[in-house]
A and B are shown apart, each in its own frame.
Chain A
């Protein structure tokens, strides 16, 4: 199974994982790591330890481009991994529902499309 790791600030990853479980039910092969209190090398170690459980490829999802979580995920440079940044609920739901059917090489583009489709802006001008 393709493994997913959410690497994010504070409780963002754990919170999003909770929302995915609430919508989808039990989820395997998806972990959340927080940067809370951790140095970057320590977070890199934890990402590598978590990724070691994966055998079919790893998608590492980070919450913010340029942040410490993003940098740790890039620094880990795990063979057979892809780092996706700016995750949202649609992206992770897409991952959970499509990872068994979409080939790993196509998965990042599919997830990116689904995540972006989930972002819209609608303005209601004041009177």
Chain B
């Protein structure tokens, strides 16, 4: 089955993902793509502790993500894939992951970043990665929650 949701969200597994998106699209599995989480058992446990019992979680490093993502598209499980940053998405796409659409749902405020939406702040590298993803034909859906409008902010990248 196609991946239910591929999302950039620096908070990874949190209420918007499990409750907000989970109420309409119920995943069996959430794959978290993160090098920092994958290399730290403490961070990994902390991240997955947030999951409701009905959803399985898996943390994978960026390098292993393309193969896992492409296998998921052919698997029976309904899955979400979460990324910490647009640059991680770009890396997995460059390495062969098939992602038709990416939800940009949380790139929260960090000092020095420019605000595009209340929940999207970018620096040059973020903008460049988002532009590159868009230019490869991936649809970027800017929305924190499924029942919100998806504003057209392409011109601000």
Binding site for B on A (CB under 8 A): 9, 37-42, 64-68, 70-71, 74-75
Contacts and interface: CB of A to CB of B under 8 A. Distances in A.
Nearest to B15: A67
B14 A68 contact: yes
Interface string B43-54: 100110111000
A67 B11 CA distance: 9
Nearest to A9: B15
Given A66-B50, A71-B50, A41 B110 contact: yes
B10 interface: yes
Contacts of B114: none
A39 B11 CA distance: 7
Most chain A CB within 10 A, of B46, B47, B108, B119, is at B108
Contacts of A40: 10-11, 108
Contacts of A38: 108-109
Nearest to A41: B110
A66 B108 contact: no
A42 B15 contact: no
A74 B43 CA distance: 10
6 nearest A-B residue pairs (beta carbon): A66-B50, A39-B108, A68-B11, A68-B14, A37-B109, A39-B10
B51 A66 contact: yes
Interface in B90-131: 107-111, 118-119, 121
